[in-house]
Chain A
Amino acid sequence: MNTIWALAKIVVLEMIRRKDFYVLFILTVLLTGMAGSVNLFNDHSIVRYLKEICLLLIWVASLVIAITCTARQIPMEREQRTIFPLLAKPVTRAQFLLGKFLGCWVATGLALLVFYLFFGVVSASREQHWPVLNYLQAGFLHWLMLGIVIAATLLGSIVFAAPSSNGTICFVCVAGILLLGRHLNKVALGLAEPLQSLLYGIYFVIPHLELFDVRDLITHNWDLIPGGVMALAILYAATYTAFLLTAAWLVFRRRPLN
């Protein structure tokens, strides 16, 4: 565990010292600010619209951070040859992967925290109440979802050689699932047989990331999600993450390093 944590800290430190996160954050702030400034009519619904835009930006930015940060980890270790002195120490390949996973997950978690704090400031400037618990639930589910994405990207970075193609593939898959995932079964109904089963198969196998998207919880100030459902969500995310990490380990375990 110490080893895994030591590895994770390096990843977090890397993100803090790189510029990407700051650029995305400033971009989000600017875009939200622009969206806020077109609020000429001071209409009540405009607040909701502003919150929706800000949340959408946060979702996109968090996916970009999670995927780019994860996709470059192992290719960089190999390209810069830092993996050699590292794995020459008593580190197993499983610890290496877990450390990278944990580091990326914690790093994106920290980024998420900054983003949601900004969102809190934005909405507090327009509204007088602060549903902190709603924020926490939505942010936590968002973070769980990113765990699955990070595990998938880590697997991708071992399977696909080029980091950029892996990043693109992951981004397209994740966006596809988020936008279309819940409709696949309905689409399948309208198809002819071999395709229908195939699409149904995909529908049942993919992680339904869209389930973790509870932005309405904060834009519409809905009631909190019950504890049982939260527990199920944690279990669901943990299962997929564990499955993807195991797959990554199986591929990486015996791979020659040069």
Chain B
Amino acid sequence: METLTIDNLRVEYRSRAVGDPVKTAVRGLNLRVAQGEVFGFLGPNGAGKTSTMNVLLGFVPPTSGTARLFGVDVREPIARQRIGYLPEQTYYYKFLTAEELLRFYAEIFQIPKAERTQRIDAVLKLVELDHARTRQIKTYSKGMQQRAGLAQALINNPDLLILDEPTSGLDPIGRMKVREIIQRLKSEGKTVFFSSHELGEVETVCDRIAILHQGELKTEGRVSDLLRQHGANLEQIFLKIIGHPLQP
């Protein structure tokens, strides 16, 4: 069963000023992610990764085409019941503590009261914010905020995680932890769909990847197949596909 389906997706941004050209961020994208996969969504800056995710989460309506999560059109709010999302830039209600933030989101997911505290404890432990749980988020460092973001993405024990550059701003240990969390989720049968610029990391954790360039899908496939076909590492493949001249 497919967890995530994108058909012929096109995303255009119309600017408010009259006469400005329409900016096409994604054109004719088709993508399928199966349950239990860890899927890397790659592409240079401005390729359209965040725009695609914005459609998946219902922030931006598709200009044309469709996107479905668990077979439900993304325009239905219920499509988001079983997903966890970590935005590209994470800022949370700064006047809340991590614990209050997670309790708020747990209420939104209507997690029963008895389970709530248990869930909150579990995710705080997982992202190692246990020691700072009663401090307001405005006192957190950037990496701690990022981990609070990861905690909120996991609060509903989601079956699909959509992570927009989950390791940006983290130190090497933090990155390793995120990798471990992703692998652990995979072993629990969850699906992870994430964008990243860290190709080494992508190579180690992803089953499949897609490379987007200027809104178009350039390559899609199993990491192992791609590596074999090109006889190179992911970084070299990436540069070649987006047409960047290779260093001699």
**Which A residues are closer than 8 A to B by beta carbons?**
2-3, 5-7, 9-10, 13-14, 17-18, 80-82, 84-92, 254, 256-258
Contact = CB atoms under 8 A, between A and B. Distances in A.
A17 B95 contact: yes
A89 B61 contact: no
Interface string B45-85: 00000000010011111000000000000000110110101
A103 B239 CA distance: 50
Contacts of B58: 87-88
Given A81-B89, A90-B108, 19 more contacts: A2-B107, A14-B93, A18-B95, A81-B91, A82-B91, A84-B57, A85-B85, A85-B152, A88-B57, A88-B58, A88-B59, A88-B162, A89-B80, A89-B108, A90-B80, A92-B77, A256-B13, A256-B61, A257-B54
Contacts of A18: 95
Given A14-B95, A89-B80, A91-B77, A84 B59 contact: yes
Contact of A87 (B59, B61, B83, B94): B59
Contacts of A84: 57, 59, 85, 87
Contact of B60 (A13, A17, A88, A258): A258
Nearest to B83: A88
B224 interface: no
Interface residues of B, number: 35
Q: Which 4 A-B pairs have the closest CB atoms?
A: A6-B107, A88-B85, A257-B59, A84-B87
A63 B127 CA distance: 43
9 contacts: A3-B110, A14-B95, A84-B59, A85-B85, A85-B90, A86-B108, A87-B58, A89-B105, A256-B13
A258 B54 contact: yes
Most buried by B among A6, A86, A88: A88
- Residue among A9, A81, A84 with most chain B CB within 10 A: A84
A87 B149 CA distance: 14
Contacts of B54: 257-258
Contacts of A13: 95-96, 100
B92 interface: yes
A85 B86 CA distance: 7
Contacts of B94: 80
B104 A254 contact: no
A256 B108 CA distance: 22
A13 B136 CA distance: 12
A256 B104 contact: no
Contacts of A257: 54, 59-60
B87 A85 contact: yes
Contacts of A17: 95
A81 B87 contact: yes
A10 B54 CA distance: 25
A10 B93 contact: yes
